[in-house]
Amino acid sequence: MNLEVLYREIKDFNKETHGSTDYDKDEIYVMGESPDEFAPLKYLSKKIEGLTKSRDLLSLGLVHDTYDLFEYEDFPKWFESQFSRKLNRTLSKKISILHLPKNKEIFDAIETVNKCYEILRTEQILMNGKNLPVQLGEWYCKAIFGLEQRKSSSQRGFDFYLEDKRIEVKVHWSDVSSPKGVKMRKSLVDLADHCILIYIARNFMIREICFLDSSFILRKFGGKGHTIFLKDSDVSQYFFSKSDKHYMKVANNMALLKYSNPTLAMTLAEHFSKPEI
């Protein structure tokens, strides 16, 4: 399976309408080369050998979006045209869309933002601009591990999931780690099954990743109080640059290598360039 085959099948699906089928009940759709072309995963799994679930497409570079969080303007029109019925609110809350991000445009934008941040920092204008790095780091994790975002009742507005496991993503933005370590709320760690620590350099590229079980963090570092500090000296043995224990959880090798800084990318490239046996 490759992108050419996937896009061909999506295009074939769009050659005719499917109002007499039950594809309108599907909850996972895949976007084609054009933003106004989609196909249900249920249909694609019948046409493409080896495709059984959405996670099978992540290795091609596709990213999983929850429609209710990231509304696609063309999707409701496409849905109505295909199935002769409007996309109602109840169904839209259940729908996910897989699409291929425009990686070159994203990479170019990151370079531009980095230059702008440097100017604003040099001119003593930017005091705290962490909102963008945090959201970017979360998107990196979403693309690399195939995380799903689902709406929650928390102030955050959404939670991350890896299949049925809840994931807490913590982004650290700096060229060096704080001596105190990465600060995490114990309550959020306790609610999650796993925690991903992603270290973003000042140039917005990934300098390190760490994947830990929440139970391990609470058992070893919980202590008293509501805050946990994870120092490099405590968790560096689990960094991706030093341990391959959690490499199998990477769903999109291309995203990991593309958005890592050269040092990390070179360390990881040998492993991820090996052919699967």
Confidence at residue 157, expressed as pLDDT on a 0 to 100 scale: 67
C-alpha triplet 31, 72, 161: angle, nearest 5°: 75
For residue 42 the two structure tokens come to 């249920």
Rounded Cα–Cα distance for residues 72 and 75 (Å): 5
Residue 74 falls within a domain, yes or no?
A: yes
Query: 174-221, pLDDT tens digit by residue?
Result: 999 888 899 999 999 999 999 999 999 999 999 999 999 999 999 988
Report the mean per-residue pLDDT for the chain: 90
Shared domain for 95 and 163, answered yes or no, is no
DSSP-derived letter for residue 239 is B
Shared domain for 95 and 144, answered yes or no, is no
Query: 82-134, pLDDT tens digit by residue?
Result: 999 999 989 988 999 999 999 999 999 999 998 998 888 888 777 666 688 99
Shared domain for 264 and 141, answered yes or no, is yes
Shared domain for 85 and 150, answered yes or no, is no
Pairing relationship of beta strands 165-173 and 206-213 according to DSSP bridges: unpaired
Residue 82 falls within a domain, yes or no?
A: yes
Shared domain for 181 and 254, answered yes or no, is yes
Confidence at residue 132, expressed as pLDDT on a 0 to 100 scale: 85
Confidence at residue 118, expressed as pLDDT on a 0 to 100 scale: 85
Shared domain for 173 and 89, answered yes or no, is no
Q: How far is CA 88 from CA 71, 91, 94, in A?
A: 13, 6, 11
| Residues forming a β-bridge with 53 | none
Rounded Cα–Cα distance for residues 182 and 186 (Å): 12
Shared domain for 179 and 108, answered yes or no, is yes
Shared domain for 80 and 122, answered yes or no, is no
Shared domain for 63 and 116, answered yes or no, is no
Residue 277 falls within a domain, yes or no?
A: no
Shared domain for 91 and 112, answered yes or no, is no
Shared domain for 184 and 226, answered yes or no, is yes
- Domain CATH code at residue 161: 3.40.210
Q: How confident is the model at residue 79 (pLDDT cuts 50, 70, 90)?
A: very high
Query: 28-56, pLDDT tens digit by residue?
Result: 999 999 999 999 999 999 999 999 999 99
Enumerate the H helices of 36-182 as residue ranges: 41-47, 74-83, 89-92, 103-122, 131-145
Contacts of 237 (CB under 8 A, 6+ apart): 243
Residue 68 falls within a domain, yes or no?
A: yes
Q: How far is CA 23 from CA 75, 81, 113, in A?
A: 14, 13, 41
pLDDT above 80: residue 245? yes
Shared domain for 216 and 199, answered yes or no, is yes
Confidence at residue 153, expressed as pLDDT on a 0 to 100 scale: 62
pLDDT above 60: residue 237? yes
Residue 33 falls within a domain, yes or no?
A: yes
Question: Which of 56, 75, 99 marks a domain boundary?
Answer: 99
Q: Which amino acid is at 159?
A: D
- Can you give the pTM of this predicted structure? 0.86
Domain with 32, as residue range(s), is 3-99
Confidence at residue 130, expressed as pLDDT on a 0 to 100 scale: 65
Residue 161 falls within a domain, yes or no?
A: yes
